[in-house]
Amino acid sequence: MDFSVCRSRVLGVAMACATSVVACGGSTESGNTADVSIGGVDAGFSPFIAVVHLRGTKLAGIVDLQYTVEPKQSSLSRPVHVHYTSTALQKRGYLAPASDGIDLPVIGLYAGSTNFVDLTLTFADGSSEMLQAAVPSRAYSDPNGVYDHLSVIQSRTSASSLGFDFFFMKSTSGVPVVVDTDGEVRWIGKDGVANGGAMAFRDGGFVIADSTDAHVVREELDGTVIAASTNSNEISNFSHNLDPGKSGLLAEVDTQIGGVSNLDSTVAEIEVSGALLQQWDLAVIISTTMAAAGDDASAFVRPGVDWFHANAATYDPRDDTLIVSSRENFLMTMKYSTGEILWILGDPTKYWATFASLRAKALTLAPGGLYPIGQHATSITSDGLLMVFNDGTASVNQPSGAPAGASRTYSAVSAYLIDPINRMATEVWRFENGRTLYSAYCSSAYEGPGKSLLIDYAATANQTTRIVALDANHQVVFDFAYPTLGCNTAWNAQPISFDAVNFE
């Protein structure tokens, strides 16, 4: 196939445009000749995105558009594939009603390459056209010298099996970074928020919450940013993660109530717009539980101090409960509707276990299991286990002289079977990685399709982040390393389906 590339200036910025493309003819059913052509390609806000301009009178009758970014010859990751209905094209402003043009953002480009993008267009008359565009992209240079400084400890091989092909890292600078399993950066956020790593991928875009105020933004993959704030007069800022809730997203927030700062001791459920749906004040919930059993709650619940440090929350639809991770203390489950504490799972040598009211809620851990210590990233696996990244760091903010609990010299991923009837927890499996890596804070482990796993050791020795993927048998598929300062590079990371992005 022959392609030619020209240079033009749009809005005073040098941009590349493809002036010749291969166009396969119309529908084999109708025999229509090709009508649609590519009028040019403008560079996007990053090397990983470009705007392809489609022109042709038939575009007014388009019902479906799909494109695929062809993978590099050496790639083992599935290609980026995006699908739009005509409704989605119009809603996003790419196609005007009765228009003969579409300005299509193409995401997932390889930086510093000529990308070949295959497009398939389907029309209301049943016909279809296929086009291929050659899309050049500029090289990527991370101004912070992080995401363009990948060290491959172990690369993915053709003999390996993995259920996902892309993941995104949650930078504490408020910008998501999408990488494929070959280690290629394929998308990076434009603006995000000034600070904060609380992010979730929802409906083809990222929801990002600010750690400095009650600000929430949605960043679309084309770089469009829509900003909003919560409708709560109590939430002062977001602190950790965004996880799937019953109706919206679960967030750990700081609040200001009656002039008192409540640090990391409140979980809120918000809509993707930031609007508050539900809120659980853990200080009130735990104080009520302790007082009802005759304990002095003020000795444990200390407003204005980071006594709880909530860092993750998971909604379990099987019993309508909320699982909350307290890095300082334990895992705790409560009823979604009332906040009633059902059980606690944590290191019994910590300060919390000196209170009879909290001990009464504790599950017994089956022999041989690891207690969750300093854990992050709660989730429910496909086979119903409660999984956490088990950091292994003792408590750091208990009262002077209070027991901080045990600590370990390595981090693990632990998956527990919870039996609330018999008040037992069994660690069904764990992944220790040879006990060679220790990430004291942050970090995550999430399941991908086919029971594969993505593990993020956010802050290991020598200021390094390690991103490790496991197959269903917990064998390492790839192991990537990035420079980091604290947890900045990837305080948390999750699989993402860039091979099947659908807009309807």
pLDDT digits (tens, 9 = 90+) for 321-358: 999 999 999 999 999 999 999 999 999 999 999 999 99
Average pLDDT over residues 122-145: 96
Q: How many CA atoms lie within 13 A of 108 on its CB side?
A: 26
Inform me whether the pLDDT recorded for 219 exceeds 80. Answer: yes
Percentage, residues of the chain above pLDDT 90: 87
Structure tokens at 273: 């717009």
Average pLDDT over residues 28-42: 72
Task: List the single range of 154-163, 207-216, 332-341, 385-394 with lowest mean pLDDT.
Answer: 207-216
Q: How far apart are CA 356 and CA 134, in angstroms?
A: 68
DSSP state of 92: T
Greater confidence (429 vs 34) lies with: 429
Q: Which CATH superfamily is domain 5-136 in?
A: Immunoglobulins (2.60.40.10)
| SS3 category, 304 | coil
User: Structural domain boundaries of the chain?
Assistant: 5-136, 237-447
**CB-based contacts of 499: which residues, under 8 Å, 6+ apart?**
77, 78, 79, 80, 81, 165, 166
| SS3 category, 88 | helix
Average pLDDT over residues 171-198: 92
Average pLDDT over residues 367-374: 98
**What's the pLDDT band for 318 if we cut at 50, 70, 90?**
very high
CA 328 to chain CA centroid, nearest Å: 24
Q: Are 99 and 62 in contact (CB under 8 A)?
A: no
Greater confidence (87 vs 32) lies with: 87
pLDDT value of position 98: 82
Average pLDDT over residues 355-363: 98
123-127 own/partner pairs: CB under 8 Å, 24+ apart: 123/27, 123/58, 123/61, 123/62, 123/63, 124/61, 124/62, 124/63, 125/27, 125/30, 125/32, 125/61, 126/27, 126/29, 126/30, 127/26, 127/27, 127/29, 127/30, 127/32, 127/58
The identity of residue 28, as a single letter, is T
Q: How far apart are CA 39 and CA 36, in angstroms?
A: 9
Inform me whether the pLDDT recorded for 27 exceeds 50. Answer: no
Average pLDDT over residues 177-194: 92
**Average model confidence (pLDDT) for the chain?**
92
Average pLDDT over residues 170-185: 96
pLDDT value of position 33: 54
pLDDT value of position 97: 84
DSSP state of 320: T
Average pLDDT over residues 392-412: 97
Inform me whether the pLDDT recorded for 244 exceeds 70. Answer: yes
Greater confidence (20 vs 136) lies with: 136
What residues are paired with 40 via a beta bridge?
Answer: 53
Task: List the single range of 26-30, 34-38, 164-168 with lowest mean pLDDT.
Answer: 26-30
Q: How far apart are CA 195 and CA 180, in angstroms?
A: 25
pLDDT value of position 4: 30
pLDDT value of position 34: 67
Greater confidence (348 vs 28) lies with: 348
Inform me whether the pLDDT recorded for 6 exceeds 60. Answer: no
pLDDT value of position 195: 85
Structure tokens at 278: 């539900």
DSSP state of 283: H
Average pLDDT over residues 3-25: 32
Inform me whether the pLDDT recorded for 9 exceeds 60. Answer: no
Rounded to 10 degrees, what is the CA torsion of 363, 308, 491, 277? 90
Average pLDDT over residues 444-463: 97
